[in-house]
Amino acid sequence: MTNKHGDSQDYDREVKSVCPYCGVGCQLSFKIKDDKIKYVEGINGPANENRLCVKGRFGFDYVHHDHRLNHTINQA
């Protein structure tokens, strides 16, 4: 059976933050499920009024990417 409302409420917790990509400073909310970012929503900040550009909305797959360095590979 198709869920006509989608699964946008299917997350464990919310973390409010600021988009890291540029100096506009859009405020956003990370929706977290199983300790991974499931999706991102804009929240009502003075610079963005709930909106996000395409990078701010969809550009967070790098956080959990397999190729992301999570330890030091060269110590001088």
Give dist(CA 20, CA 44) in Å, integer: 16
Residue 22 in contact with ligand SF4, rule: CB under 6 A: yes
Residue 63 in contact with ligand SF4, rule: CB under 6 A: no
Residue 37 in contact with ligand SF4, rule: CB under 6 A: no
Measured from the CB atom, is 36 or 58 closer to ligand SF4? 58
Residue 27 in contact with ligand SF4, rule: CB under 6 A: no
Residue 40 in contact with ligand SF4, rule: CB under 6 A: no
Burial class from Cβ neighbours inside 10 Å (0-12, 13-18, 19+) for residue 41 reads: middle
